Amino acid sequence: MASSSDKEVKEVPGSYGLPIIGAVLDRFDYFVVEGAETFFKNRIEKYKSTVFRVNMPPGPPLFPDPRVIILLDAKSFPILFDLSKVEKKNVFTGVYMPSTNFTGGYRVLSYLDPSEENHSKLKTFCFHVLKTNAAKWFPEFERATGELWAKVDKQFSETGKAEFDSENLQMCFNFLCRAVLDRDPAAPGPASLGTKGPSYVVKWIGLQLAPIANTGVLPKILEEVTIHAVPLPFLLVRGDYDKVYNFFWTYGKAALDAAELQFGLKRDEACHNLVFNICFNTFGGMFVLYPSIIRFIAEAGKELHAHLAQEVRGAIKENEGLNPRALESMALLRSTVYEVLRIDPPVPFQYARAKEDLVVESHDGRYAVKKGELLGGYQPFATRDPKVFENPEEFLPRRFMGEEGEKLLKYLLWSNGPETDDTSAHNKQCAGKDFVVMVSRLLVAQLFLHYDSFEIDQSSTSKVVFTSLHQATS
């Protein structure tokens, strides 16, 4: 059988339909009738291709051009990272970019292409913040998770069950503020956020993403004709955002001084970027990813729990504490976190615009793309590609262990690039790529320092609720 590289270049299959009507119908199917996974599966079957044209939300009448060439396999997806062929300007959220009012009037780093002058300055500033606070990651995470488990235990002892998600929000926010700003968000002071910081940030993120996501706040049909049909104004969360910004402005002096003096950034622009990087990208990713980690490990059962507990406690004993050396030695834990990132990535979409006429190659065909066309990839299909991953829909905690497992890491794409690549000031891979993996591994390590095993309510799909907690016995 001939490889796809030997095949003729074809037109991308699919249709955008009639102007306006086609986009509205696609959006209705996506949000109301099918949902994302079924929406894409049905069109793969219809066009007999993992590359096709489709309208992506939000679309007309009040949003920009919704036309996208969608990529749904591991072979076509990586072109979204090839900056010699594609541009990443203003495509962080796809066909729709929220108003810059949400970020102080600035296009923050996530919306910049590496060719833009400010990109390298802002990304290097991100690296600086990560590096200068590195000594605080482990102790502050231990402190924050200790508070989390205490609240979970108290709730469980009182009611026989405990919700993880709401306590996780506060834990993540406390950890990041203490580690980056050296300030507890609830500490008394002129810019104190009390315990409301997470709710302020969640609302601010929610309004930006509402046109392209199901919020669950309203019935789907009502969301379709309201939340997905119009851009929601910053005015609705201006007061909340101003409080968060003021907290970062007041207590982020060291980082903001460096932004001005070392990187030549405007102080207010640096602060808006710091808020976005910490609150939208990092906090937003953590509060989505952590419940997913808990859920998959819970569903895997007690045998995995026993092996993880043994590995974590053995590594800590051997290395005299939970330190970077101990964490690095936990191969099963590392693979488990990678497997969650593979099967349920916290950011499901990536987008890029063609810089030139080019050819996109999938497993089964080669397709012509014109300069200026928008490409979009739904990552769960690429990281569950059956031509790359055996039993792709199954959660296999040991998948990335050993020599063969290591080879699969180049197909793990959660960070806007392969896990085997390094983030730099000159690409669009997540600045906190290694940090996110580290603190996710720390979560699992801290979990099994506190518990031998646990169970969750399997009937609840919207939140993680512990129904059984077995305290650590050794």
Q: What is the pLDDT of residues 176-199, one digit of tens each?
A: 999 999 999 999 999 999 999 999
Determine the pLDDT at residue 474. Answer: 72
What radius of gyration do the chain's Cα atoms show? 22
The more confident residue out of 292 and 461 is: 292
CATH 1.10.630.10 fits 4-471, yes or no: yes
Q: What is the DSSP letter of 417?
A: B
What does the alpha-carbon distance between residue 239 and residue 107 come to, in Å, rounded to a whole number?
20
Q: In what order do the strands lie in the sheet containing 86-87? A: 51-55, 67-71, 374-378, 349-354, 86-87
**Mean pLDDT score, 57-82:** 96
**pLDDT > 90 in the chain, percent:** 93
Using the predicted structure, report yes or no on whether residue 4 has a pLDDT greater than 80: no
CA 259 to centroid of chain Cα atoms: 25
Residue pair 415/379 in contact (Cβ under 8 Å)? The answer is no
Residue with tokens 């794409």: 413
What does the alpha-carbon distance between residue 326 and residue 316 come to, in Å, rounded to a whole number?
6
Residue pair 379/400 in contact (Cβ under 8 Å)? The answer is no
**Mean pLDDT score, 122-129:** 98
Residue with tokens 């919306």: 111
Determine the pLDDT at residue 225. Answer: 85
Using the predicted structure, report yes or no on whether residue 5 has a pLDDT greater than 80: no
For residue 218, what pLDDT band results from cuts at 50, 70 and 90? confident
Using the predicted structure, report yes or no on whether residue 212 has a pLDDT greater than 90: yes
**Helix axis angle, 253-261 relative to 267-275, nearest 10°?**
130
Determine the pLDDT at residue 430. Answer: 97
**Mean pLDDT score, 282-286:** 97
Helix or strand or coil: residue 359?
A: strand
Angle at 151 between CA 147 and CA 157, to 5 degrees: 145
For residue 2, what pLDDT band results from cuts at 50, 70 and 90? very low
Residue pair 59/24 in contact (Cβ under 8 Å)? The answer is yes
Residues in CB range of 297: below 8 A, 6 or more apart: 304, 305, 308, 336, 397, 444, 447
What is the token pair recorded at 303?
């045998």
φ/ψ of 361, rounded to 5, equals: -115, 125
**Mean pLDDT score, 390-417:** 98
Torsion on CA atoms 82, 71, 422, 90, rounded to nearest 10: 70
Using the predicted structure, report yes or no on whether residue 1 has a pLDDT greater than 70: no
Using the predicted structure, report yes or no on whether residue 464 has a pLDDT greater than 70: yes
Residue pair 274/252 in contact (Cβ under 8 Å)? The answer is yes
- Quote the mean pLDDT of the chain: 96
**pLDDT > 70 in the chain, percent:** 99
Residue pair 400/408 in contact (Cβ under 8 Å)? The answer is yes
Residues in CB range of 116: below 8 A, 6 or more apart: 89
What does the alpha-carbon distance between residue 25 and residue 237 come to, in Å, rounded to a whole number?
30
β-pairing, 9-11 vs 366-369, is parallel
Question: Which strand (E) or helix (H) includes residue 53?
Answer: strand 51-55
For residue 258, what pLDDT band results from cuts at 50, 70 and 90? very high
Residue with tokens 């699969």: 408
For residue 44, what pLDDT band results from cuts at 50, 70 and 90? very high
Q: Where are the alpha helices (DSSP H) in 301-384?
A: 302-318, 324-328, 331-343, 379-382
The more confident residue out of 223 and 277 is: 277
Residue pair 326/318 in contact (Cβ under 8 Å)? The answer is yes
Q: Where are the domains of the chain?
A: 4-471
What 422-429 contacts at long range (C-beta under 8 Å, 24+ apart), as own/partner pairs, is 424/123, 425/114, 425/119, 425/120, 425/123, 425/124, 425/127, 426/114, 426/120, 427/81, 427/83, 427/114, 428/81, 428/83, 428/88, 428/113, 428/114, 429/81
* Of 88, 107, 439, the residue nearest 276 (C-alpha): 107
What does the alpha-carbon distance between residue 83 and residue 327 come to, in Å, rounded to a whole number?
34
Residue pair 334/445 in contact (Cβ under 8 Å)? The answer is no
What does the alpha-carbon distance between residue 335 and residue 396 come to, in Å, rounded to a whole number?
9
Within 10 angstroms of residue 394's Cβ, the number of other Cβ atoms is: 11
Q: Confirm or deny that 430 is annotated as ligand binding.
A: yes
Determine the pLDDT at residue 7. Answer: 79
Using the predicted structure, report yes or no on whether residue 6 has a pLDDT greater than 80: no
Determine the pLDDT at residue 169. Answer: 98
Residue pair 80/51 in contact (Cβ under 8 Å)? The answer is no
* Of 199, 153, 154, the residue nearest 172 (C-alpha): 199
What does the alpha-carbon distance between residue 69 and residue 81 come to, in Å, rounded to a whole number?
15
